Amino acid sequence: MNPFDVARSNATPDAQANIDLIEAFFKTLEAMDFEATGQFFTEDGVYCDEPAHEMNATGPAGVTKKLATSITGLNAFIMGVDTVVGNAQVVTTRRTEEWHFSTGEVAKLPVLCMHEIEGGKIKRWHEFWNMPSLITQMPPSWIEERARQNA
C-alpha cells in the first residue's frame, strides 16, 4: 500500500490535508518542476538543509532557485517514499532519493524529512541526510558543473 494512503488512513481530517499537500509536493519535485515546487511554500517559508545550513533557502523564489541549482540536469529524480506520519502541523517522511545522472550513474540517498505546515503551505522543510554519502556517489563532472554554477 502507498505510504501516503497508510498515513491518511490513521489521520484526522487536518492531518489528511497536510499529507495530501506533501504527497503533491513530492510528485511536483520528482517531476523537477522547480517553479511549481517553490509555490508550495509560504512567503517566509524556509528549506533547511540540515547537513549544510549555508544552503538553506527562503520563500518560493529562493526554494525554486536552490532546487534548480541543485537538481537541474538530472535524467530523473525519484522520490522513493516508504514512511509517512502526519498531524495537523507536521508531516514526517522517510525516503530514498535516486539521482539519475546523464552519464548513467545513479546515486541513492536516504533522507528523513519534516514539513511544518501553516495555512495549507509549507512553512519549514527540514531535510536530514548524509552529505558524504551523496558526494561519493556523484560523477566528478556533476560536482565540477555545480561548482561552476555557484562561483
CB count, 10 Å around CB of 76? 12
According to DSSP, the β-strands at 76-86 and 90-100 are antiparallel
φ, ψ dihedrals at 56, nearest 5°: -60, 160
For the chain, domains (ranges, CATH) are: 3-146 (3.10.450.50)
Q: How far apart are the first and last CA of the chain?
A: 44
Tens-digit pLDDT string for the chain (151 aa): 899 999 999 888 989 999 999 999 999 999 999 999 999 999 999 999 988 888 899 999 999 999 998 888 899 999 999 999 999 999 999 999 999 998 899 999 999 999 999 999 999 999 999 989 988 998 887 777 766 766 6
According to DSSP, the β-strands at 121-128 and 41-49 are parallel
Per-residue pLDDT tens digits for 89-128: 999 999 999 999 988 999 999 999 999 999 999 999 999 9
- What is the model's pTM? 0.91
